[in-house]
Amino acid sequence: MDQPARLRIDKWLFFARVLKSRTLAGKFVAGGSVRVNSEKIDQPSLSVKSGDVLTISLERRILVLKIVACGHRRGPAPEAQALYQDLTPAPTESEKIAAAGQREPGSGRPTKRDRRRIDKFLQPDADD
């Protein structure tokens, strides 16, 4: 079966497994979280074709995907990954730390563990 030349963006996001359901993809696009070729869109019915570049702002990251194929079904993950080329820039060191759930050194208030270490350092003779 030949793949269509164009496909609705909500359907493509669903086929490429970027979002869990087509309804969720439609709401996501309508919310203005997707750009096609650097233009902000808000209609899930917009047709996309191979060669288009999507910028998708998810909750904690931004994806840049180039559409390679449109697809005809929501298949397994390897089939879905064949629909796009990931152009997302590599995360910086601070983004890696934030993704791991750790604070960057010197930022914000110390944790309880940090506070205990500071107290122990400042008062080494204090009885525990």
Q: Which of 29, 11, 30, 31 has the alpha carbon at shortest distance from 21?
A: 11
List pLDDT tens digits, range 22-38.
Answer: 999 999 999 999 999 99
Secondary element (H or E) of residue 97: helix 93-100
How far is C-alpha 50 from the chain's CA centre? Answer: 20
Q: Where is 99: in which H helix or E strand?
A: helix 93-100
Whole-number Å distance between alpha carbons of 83 and 50: 9
Please report where in the chains the tokens 């080329």 appear, as a residue: 85
* Domains of the chain, start order: 6-89 (3.10.290.10), 92-128 (no CATH)
Tell me the per-residue pLDDT of 38-61, one tens digit each, with 9 for 90 and over. Answer: 999 999 999 999 999 999 998 878
Residue 6 has pLDDT above 70, yes or no: yes
Is the whole model's pTM more than 0.75, yes or no? no
